[in-house]
A and B are shown apart, each in its own frame.
Chain A
Amino acid sequence: MSARDVTPDESSELQGLWQAAKQGDRRALARLLTLAGQSEHKPTLYRLLAHSSPPRSSLVSAITGSPGAGKSSLIGKMLPLIRQQGHTVAVLACDPRSPLTGGALLGDRIRMPVTVEDQGIYIRSLATPPGRQGIAESLDIRVGILEHSGFDWILVETVGVGQGDVAVRDLVDCVVLLIPPESGDEIQWEKAGLLELADLVVVSKGDMPGATRTAAQLQQTLNLPGFPPKQILVVSVARNLGIAELVKQLHEQPRRRHAPERRGQRLLLLAQEILAERFAERKDLVQGVLAEARRQGWDDWQAANELVHWLMTHE
């Protein structure tokens, strides 16, 4: 498969960009993040990542929550606070890609300040295909590239997600789940999924009616006797409340990303990504399997298994 071969030319071009990005060249960084989304460059990029050590270990946090919960706006307010503490920060902002056309409208930047002079902030928008649990393709390698470029903080904004979109946890140190006021009752907070995995639970839009009640419900439900305690914060972007506290709490989070058990999870995610790419490339095989299924009288289960076999073995 051609995607696994690396030509020396391509490898040296990527190496040049890699070195430039490490030395603070933002154009090279932007280019690398583009190339990281193309499967033919991944072998080289992963090798570069494995054979080089970052200037420092970045604190990688995911900001996740339902659409309109206030993720972009919150990040927009966090950026100046992080900069005031003398830290550099990069944002990977995911927005959905259309399942129908492949197009995307990437609008997260509207809520974030555009700093003209400050090289300590870098923001990148990423289109995210459906079925990816709210995170863009190649997020792992992109986080790695940013870490090697020397950012102290990396914030990953997921696509607006639901209860089951938990994959981001294996790629970051800390997951912040944003919950808008009045978006559920006590039973909602008992359910399994994202709420279990969040390291910090934050009620957004704290200036709106119902925010205090939602925070109180979460506090009661998530902190039952005998269960590990989970802190609930309330923030308001409109009133600039609670955001400094959130930044402080994030700063104190343990670096979980490099824990040995996470590596296996990351490999599984990567393998899924490779398979998804392969399947997307060879949708043409479906027609062949359908024709064969009609000839052989296969049912859907048999045909689907045969399709998997074809996808794995056909060049």
Chain B
Amino acid sequence: MSSDAMNAPRRGNMNTKNQRIVLAKVGLDGHDRGIKVVARALRDAGFEVIYPGLWLSPEAVVRVVAEEDAPWLGISLLSGTHLVLVPKVLELLRQQGLSHVRVVVGGTIPEEDVAPLLACGVAKVFGPGSSLADIVSYFKSEAYHERTRCNSG
């Protein structure tokens, strides 16, 4: 390959294009300010954010992830039900052959609940006080690693 071709920008390799993230609210939790702010930040960072709205059951969220072929699921919970609903979502993802989907949890998650969530398969927890810059740079760096894996594999 000529150096000219090496230097040419190629689709999907140089940025976050085609990186799809489903952001979801699960259960009876109407607090959607946070998830909308995160959705905007990720949109502005170049991600495709799919937001299916409020009050979804774990089954509905998993259905959306499957239909959208999204490698990422972000769940926002401000209802205190994270230790019940998040494991349920993860279990449904496994049952449907979607265990490759990485799940990130955000919201009012007490410090002591972070370890149990990580133990059951959550990739990352963004609790109170998390900055938008941290969230965006987490997804960007994961997207970068993902591409490196794909390109070398």
Contacts and interface: CB of A to CB of B under 8 A. Distances in A.
Contacts of B113: none
Nearest to B42: A103
Contact of B68 (A30, A98, A315): A30
Contact of A102 (B10, B40, B46, B59): B46
Given A37-B18, A38-B12, A124 B67 contact: yes
Nearest to B11: A281
B47 A103 contact: yes
Given A26-B66, A103-B43, A103-B44, A284 B7 contact: yes
A283 B69 contact: no
B63 interface: yes
Interface in B53-88: 53, 56-57, 59-60, 63-64, 66-69
Contacts of B20: 34
Contact of A114 (B42, B49, B60): B60
Interface string A21-43: 00000110011011001110000
B114 interface: no
Contact of B46 (A103, A107, A114, A116): A103
A123 B97 CA distance: 19
A116 to B, nearest CB: 4
A98 B96 CA distance: 33
A31 B69 contact: yes
Contacts of A105: 39-40, 43, 49, 51
B49 A27 contact: no
A283 B64 CA distance: 35
B60 A104 contact: no
A110 B56 CA distance: 10
Interface residues of B, number: 40
A127 interface: yes
A293 to B, nearest CB: 20
Contact of B9 (A31, A123, A281): A281
A125 B68 CA distance: 7
A102 B15 contact: yes
Contacts of B69: 27, 30-31, 33-34
B46 A110 contact: no
A1 to B, nearest CB: 10
A103 B51 CA distance: 13
Contacts of A38: 11-12, 18
Given A30-B69, A102-B17, A114 B48 contact: no
B127 to A, nearest CB: 24
A15 B98 CA distance: 21
Nearest to B69: A30
B16 A102 contact: yes
B11 A103 contact: no
Given A101-B46, A104-B43, A27 B66 contact: yes
B97 A27 contact: yes
A277 interface: yes
A283 B15 CA distance: 15
B92 to A, nearest CB: 10
Interface in A267-294: 277, 280-284
Interface in A96-138: 97-98, 101-107, 109-110, 114-116, 122-125, 127
Interface of B: 2, 5, 7-12, 15-18, 20, 39-40, 42-53, 56-57, 59-60, 63-64, 66-69, 96-98
Interface of A: 26-27, 30-31, 33-34, 37-39, 97-98, 101-107, 109-110, 114-116, 122-125, 127, 277, 280-284, 315
